[in-house]
Structure 1
Amino acid sequence: MRKLPSLQALRAFEAAARLQSFLLAAEELHLTPSAISHQVRGLEAYFEHKLFNRSNRRVELTDSGGRLLATLSTAFDMIEEVCRDLSPKAAAESLSVHCTPSFASKWLGPRLPAFMREYPSLTIRMSSSAEPVDLLKEEGLDVAIAYGSVRAQAGVVIEALGAERTAPLASPKLVGERFEREDIAKLTLIESKLNPVRWREWFKQNGLKMPDKPQPSFDRAALVLAAAVDGLGVALESVRFAERELASGELVIVGEGLYSPIERETHFFCYRAADRSSRKIQQFHDWLLRESRALSRDD
Structure 2
Amino acid sequence: MAQHLPLTALRAFEAATRTGSFRAAADDLGLTPSAVSHAIRGLERDLGTVLFEREGRAIRLTPEGETLMRHVERGFGELQLGIGSVAARRPQLLRLHTAPSFAAQWLVPRLGRLLEECQGLELRIAAGADYTRFLADEFDADIVYGAPPPEFYGGAGHQGVVVLPLGTEVIAPLCAPAMAPRIRSARDLYGEVLIESDNKRVRWPAWFAANGLAAPAPRGPRFDRSFISLSAAADGLGVALESTMLAEREIASGRLVRPLQGICEDVVYTGHWLVFPRTKRYARSMVLFLGWLTRELGLDIALDDLEAAGQPR
Regarding TM over 0.5, the answer is yes
1:148 to 146, 149, 163: 146
Q: State the number of aligned residues.
A: 204
5 Å-filtered alignment, 1:177-216, equals 179-216=184-221
Unaligned runs of 5+ residues in structure 1 are 1-89, 295-299
Instruction: State the alpha-carbon separation in 2 of the partners of residues 243 and 138 from structure 1.
Output: 35
SS of structure 1 residue aligned to 2:269: strand
Higher relative contact order (CA 8 A, sep 6+): 2
Q: Distance in 2 between matches of 1:252 and 1:217?
A: 20
Aligned pairs (5 A) from 1:1-299: 91-135=90-134, 137-152=135-150, 153-176=158-181, 179-293=184-298
Q: 2:68 corresponds to which residue?
A: none
* Bigger-Rg structure (1/2): 1
For normalisation by structure 2, the TM-score amounts to: 0.62
- Deviation of residue 215 (structure 1)? 2.8
Residue 164 of structure 1: CA displacement?
Answer: 0.7
Distance 1:253 1:138 in 2: 43
With over 3 angstroms needed to count, the CA separation of the structure-2 counterparts of 1:141 and 1:178, relative to structure 1, is: closer
Q: Could you tell me how far apart the structure 2 residues matched to 1:175 and 1:108 are? A: 28
TM-score, normalised via structure 1 length: 0.65
Residues in 1 aligned to 2:232 and 2:142: alpha-carbon distance in whole angstroms? 28
1:140: how far off?
2.1
Which digits, 9 at most, give the CA deviation of each residue in 1:212-249, with x for residues without a partner?
A: 35132101111000110111110011111111110111
Distance 1:201 1:130 in 2: 22
SS in 2 for 1:103: helix
Quote the Cα distance in structure 1 between the aligned partners of 2:204 and 2:120. Answer: 44
Letter in 1 for 2:107: L
Question: Following TM superposition, by how much is the alpha carbon of 1:177 offset from its aligned partner in structure 2, in angstroms?
Answer: 6.2
Contact 2:90 2:120 in 1 (8 A): no
**Aligned with 1:176: secondary structure?**
helix
Q: Distance in 1 between matches of 2:260 and 2:128?
A: 33
Secondary structure of the structure 2 residue equivalent to 1:225:
helix
Report how far residue 178 of structure 1 moved: 6.5
Amino acid at match of 1:262: V
**Offset at residue 148 of structure 1 (A):** 1.4
2:117 partner amino acid: E
Q: Is the 8 A contact 2:196 2:218 kept in 1?
A: no
Identity of aligned residues (%): 38
Residues 217 and 138 (structure 1), Cα distance of their counterparts in 2 relative to 1, 3 Å cut: farther
CA distance in structure 1 between the partners assigned to 2:123 and 2:229 by the alignment: 27
Deviation at 1:181, TM superposition (A): 3.8
Per-residue deviation, 1:293: 2.1
Kindly report structure 1 stretches of 4+ aligned residues shifted beyond 6 Å: none
Task: Give me the whole-angstrom Cα distance separating, in 1, the residues matched to 2:213 and 2:176.
Answer: 22
3-state SS of the aligned residue for 1:166?
Answer: strand
CA–CA distance in structure 2, aligned partners of residues 293 and 192 of structure 1: 27
Q: Aligned-residue CA RMSD in angstroms?
A: 1.5
